[in-house]
Amino acid sequence: MALNEDTSQQVKRVTLPSGKSIEVVYFGGARQVTGGPTVRGPDAADLHVCPSCESELVYPIDWSEAGAKHWEVELRCPECEWLGAGVFSQQAVDRFDEELDRGTEQIADSFHKLVRANMEEEIEVFVAALQADLILPEDF
């Protein structure tokens, strides 16, 4: 990837896809991307959708800033093992980040439901054991 630079300095606040903010100091002024990776995968509007198997479980392996308003992102599909990379706009990466957040919330909700169901089952078994006098003082 070729970068055109001058001798000035620029500080920019960057919000990462994880939501964390960092300050990036550019020595040599604003960077302009003049070449680099091309999109070898999903449409920028649907980074979470696999272009190979259409799974909606694609996730980022790695990402790095690729200019003032673009990100270079490496992607992986866990279902078909597709790998891809490309340079995407901040807006596309923001949409992807929102989709990843939605997926995380769904996983957390499912986990909490599973834990609750398992606890309810354990309580039922414990209550039945108590009622049948199957629990003795030596059990503790």
Asked whether residue 98 is assigned to any structural domain, the reply reads yes
- Tell me, yes or no, whether 62 lies in a domain: yes
- Is the per-residue pLDDT at 6 higher than 70? no
First to last CA, the chain: 66
pLDDT surpasses 60 at 35: no
Number of domains in the chain: 1
Q: Is residue 22 part of a domain?
A: no
pTM: 0.57
74 belongs to a structural domain: yes
6 part of a folded domain = no
Q: Who wins on pLDDT, 15 or 47?
A: 47
Question: Is 129 within the bounds of a domain?
Answer: yes
| Position 1 in a domain | no
Structure tokens at 138: 């030596």
> Using 50, 70 and 90 to split pLDDT, how confident is the model at 21?
low
Lowest model confidence (mean pLDDT) among 42-51, 74-83, 108-117, 125-134: 42-51
Report if residue 54 sits inside a domain.
yes
Range of the domain at 59: 36-133
Phi/psi for 131 (5° steps) reads: -65, -30
List, in sequence order, every beta strand (DSSP E) within the chain. Answer: 3-4, 9-15, 21-27, 32-33, 59-65, 70-76, 83-89
**Percent of the chain at pLDDT exceeding 70:** 68
